[in-house]
Chains A and B, each alone.
Chain A
């Protein structure tokens, strides 16, 4: 190898490194080729919602091979950045506007229009969360579908906690107001020798969905946390927003809720099953697991509370599927999507009771065998007419932005390091910075 020197080898290695570094950047500038027809569809979803039997059923129905990737935002971002997005991915309603705004998901309106399995007039109202016209959730074309859904503001009461506190269990026909709920929570909240016995009222998925709760409460007064164009979060300057945020903050300050200064090592569903939560705000889906050894026969399903008398009980998650705009074979992805949403897996899900079906024609298949299931169905039937409402989500920020800022500032506020006003100011500043970043990126 005459002429080969260390310098040349190093130069060569450097050139290879530079080429390797430049390749993804350069390739990102090229339009993605439509190769299509590989016969494989990659689905990113929660394995608990898509088991091996579902995969085999869908493979048999579609004659396609299905590869399942565990649902994870970080993985999705990485796959997306590499131009290798899953064909179908699981989302929640809060993420839909930003995915549509960023042109990451495919418009499925033409597919729905031609589908024999998923008829537009058979779609449950929760599917409207997959519509976004650039300004409002619920308007425009359909970009996805719920796998199932629940009116999510309903309550579960653990009757033992009420009995011990000598407090009457609320009626399952007359909804509580949020103020009544706070009073009740304080009464049934219990600690003994510094240790937690019952949390009075746990809500918003341990603050993970705190903005969704606030938005639903505010919507009763036709108000929002954001300006009409979503360009700004306004709490301090909007008395109604301020009142709702103060209410949610006070629940934390009362010590009835799980908070950063009184956390639980578990998730709230497990705590309810352990008989450690007196009132839990979760949707219909939780009825499938609400009765544990400890809570069986001691659990009552209650209607959603109201903030100002105009009761709303929409889903706040609308968990479902969308098809990636990067898919190389949209037709194949649709056939898997269509079968999962309208075929045998959808019927199995309806019968399991893990959510209200995404198709109205499957409503009758929800379980009604046990006394608890019958009581749940009775309350649910009263909630369904209140579930047509659509929650609005900000398209410029990620699903977790508000909740992250809330959680970050709640701890110093509860410890007294910052005042409530400063708490609000910090959230406004952080979320508005994130909105401004989002607006700069996607325009608008």
Chain B
């Protein structure tokens, strides 16, 4: 016991010091993340809570004097809204095309610019450029490109088929939207894939090649498995982005109104968030529109959870995630 009493005075202060250090670290941590945290709370959490509360009201965006609690009416209405169902179907279709094609394109671009070739940085910049072009400018580039009278696409087509005059935005609006979306996102995804590729130690590939593996086998058995976390990340973010597309179909619509009440995209491009936008800003049903968006959130959440569950089978992490 005497030994123990001799030890205690030396060891007693330690937990307090650790606590103080822990507190200091916690304070430092929260101070450092506070700009983001504040931004998140003010710009994301508060509007989210506000929109959630709004979805249980008849709020019309104008006069708060008339706001009434309507319970789950808006959600029940959303489930029976044939336009919402149609729009969700079109959105899922677009996603089913845009996400896989986009992923493959991004990966191919990344593999290309990852090669030790001259001017690879120039190619990287060129491929990345559409990603930093503002969406409005990107849409106008494509609108001009596919214009039936003065557009480059029909002019090129005219070289082979002189009598053909395709009205792309009328006859193939979803194809134009899909290409525009893939084009706009390709650069961003490419950079993420490139980072993933450069994170794969060269020794793995070299060892495989020494063992006699071909380039295709190295890609199939070394590169792709080690890239699966990146593929998974791009897949999840790609799905989330594809389900929330609004600006592109609105700006691709006929006329000059753009993203404003009164714009109606071609029926093929009538996507889910477009429907929510029209319900909110054209019909002034802010409460109902919020409910529609929360339903979309549930769909996105469901798909994401599903992906995470399947990821255990095909995503290989170097360390436990």
Across the interface, which residues of A come within 8 angstroms of B278, CB to CB? 404
Least CB distance, A262 to chain B, in whole angstroms = 7
Of the residues B49, B60, B143, contact of A441 by C-beta under 8 Å: B60
With A1-B23, A25-B53, A441-B58 known as contacts, the answer to whether A196 contacts B149 (CB < 8 A) is yes
Cβ contacts under 8 Å, A397 to chain B: 283
Are A73 and B46 within 8 A (Cβ)? no
Q: Which of B45, B167, B255 has the most CB atoms of chain A within a 10 A radius of its CB? A: B255
Which of B65, B147, B163 counts the most chain A CB atoms within 10 A?
A: B65
Q: Are B37 and A265 in contact (CB under 8 A)?
A: no
> A25-B53, A195-B148 are known contacts. Are A102 and B261 too (CB-CB below 8 A)?
no
Partner of B41, one of A20, A25, A73: A20
Tell me which of A16, A194, A400 has the highest count of chain B C-beta atoms within 10 A of its own C-beta.
Answer: A400
Q: How far is the CA of A74 from the CA of B62 in the complex (A)?
A: 11
- Residue in B37, B50, B68, B283 whose CB lies within 8 Å of A401: B283
Give CA–CA (A397, B64) in the complex, Å.
17
Q: How many of A's residues come within 8 Å of B, CB to CB? A: 56
Measured CB to CB, the closest approach of chain A to B161, in angstroms, equals: 12
Which positions 46-73 of chain A face chain B at CB distance < 8 Å?
72-73
- Asked if A81 and B64 make an inter-chain contact with CB atoms under 8 angstroms apart, the answer reads yes
A9 interfacial contact with B, CB 8 Å: yes
CB of B285 closer than 8 Å to a CB of A = yes
A266 partner residues in chain B, CB cutoff 8 A: 256
Q: Is B26's CB under 8 angstroms from A104's CB? A: no
Which residues of the partner chain B approach A72 to less than 8 Å between Cβ atoms?
260
Task: Select the residue from B49, B60, B62 with max chain A CB neighbours within 10 A.
Answer: B62
The answer to whether A404 touches B41 (Cβ under 8 A) is no
A378-401 contacts to B (CB < 8 Å): 397-401
**Given A4-B26, A5-B26, A408-B264, is A400 in contact with B41 using a C-beta cutoff of 8 Å?**
no
Would you give the 0/1 interface string for B32-58, flagging 1 where the beta carbon is closer than 8 Å to chain A?
000001000110011001100100001
Name A281-300 residues within 8 Å CB distance of B: none
| Chain A residues closer than 8 Å to B282, beta-carbon distance | 398, 400-401, 404
Set of chain A residues within 8 Å of B68, measured between Cβ atoms: 441
Q: Is the pair A9, B30 in contact by a Cβ cutoff of 8 Å? A: yes
Interface residues of A in 385-444 (CB under 8 A from B): 397-401, 403-404, 407-408, 411-412, 434, 437-438, 440-443
Task: Give the shortest distance, in Å, between B97 (CB) and chain A (any CB).
Answer: 21
A residues less than 8 Å from B58 (CB atoms) = 437, 440-441
CB within 8 Å for A74 and B283 given contacts A9-B30, A260-B266: no
Interchain nearest-CB distance for B90 vs A (Å):
13
Q: Please give the distance in Å from B232's CB to the nearest CB on chain A.
A: 29
Q: Does A344 contact B (CB under 8 A)?
A: no
A73: which of B165, B281, B288 is its contact (CB, 8 Å)?
B281
Q: Within 8 Å of chain A (Cβ to Cβ): is B18?
A: no
B26 contacts A6, C-beta separation under 8 Å: yes
Contacts of A412 in B (CB 8 A): 267
Contacting A at CB under 8 A, from B130-161, are: 143, 147-149
| CB atoms of B45 and A400 under 8 A apart | no
Contacts of B104 in A (CB 8 A): none
- Nearest B residue to A1, CB-CB: B23
- The answer to whether A263 touches B254, judged by C-beta atoms less than 8 angstroms apart, is yes
Interfacial chain B residues near A400, Cβ < 8 Å: 261-262, 282
A6 to B53, CA, bound (A): 28
The answer to whether A264 touches B61, judged by C-beta atoms less than 8 angstroms apart, is no
Are A262 and B170 touching (Cβ within 8 A)?
A: yes
CB neighbours (8 Å) of B27 from chain A are: 1, 4
B301 to chain A: closest CB distance in Å?
Answer: 20
Are A265 and B262 within 8 A (Cβ)?
no
Separation of A432 and B256 alpha carbons in the complex (Å): 28
Asked whether any CB of chain B lies closer than 8 Å to the CB of A13, the reply is yes
Q: Does B223 contact A (CB under 8 A)?
A: no
Partner of A103, one of B37, B63, B169: B63
A277 CB to nearest B CB, Å: 15
Q: Report A324 CB to chain B, min CB distance, Å.
A: 11
- A21 contact from B26, B30, B50, B167, Cβ within 8 A: B50
Which residues of chain B are near A77, meaning CB under 8 Å? 61-62, 281, 284, 286
Contacting A at CB under 8 A, from B249-279, are 254-257, 260-262, 264, 266-267, 270, 278
Given A196-B149, A440-B58: A403 and B262 within 8 A (CB)?
Answer: yes
B314 within 8 A of A: no
Q: Which of A245-290 contact B (CB under 8 A)?
A: 258, 260-267
Give Cα distance in the complex from A273 to B303, angstroms: 51
CB proximity of A393 to chain B, nearest CB, Å: 15
B268 to chain A, nearest CB (A): 9
Q: In the complex, which residue of chain B has the Cβ closest to the Cβ of A268? A: B255
Q: How far is the CA of A81 from the CA of B266 in the complex (A)?
A: 31
Q: Does A310 contact B (CB under 8 A)?
A: no
Give chain B nearest CB distance to A107 CB in angstroms.
Answer: 16
Q: Residues of A contacting B66 with CB < 8 Å?
A: 102, 441-443
Residues A17 and B284 in contact, CB atoms below 8 Å apart:
no
* 6 smallest beta-carbon distances between A and B, as pairs: A263-B254, A194-B165, A407-B264, A77-B61, A21-B49, A400-B262
Given A4-B27, A437-B283, 16 additional A-B pairs, CB 8 A: A9-B30, A21-B46, A24-B50, A74-B281, A77-B284, A80-B62, A104-B63, A196-B149, A265-B143, A265-B147, A267-B256, A398-B261, A398-B283, A398-B284, A408-B264, A412-B267
A-B contacts, 13 of them at CB < 8 A, read A9-B26, A13-B41, A74-B260, A77-B61, A80-B62, A80-B63, A260-B254, A263-B169, A264-B255, A398-B283, A400-B282, A408-B267, A411-B266
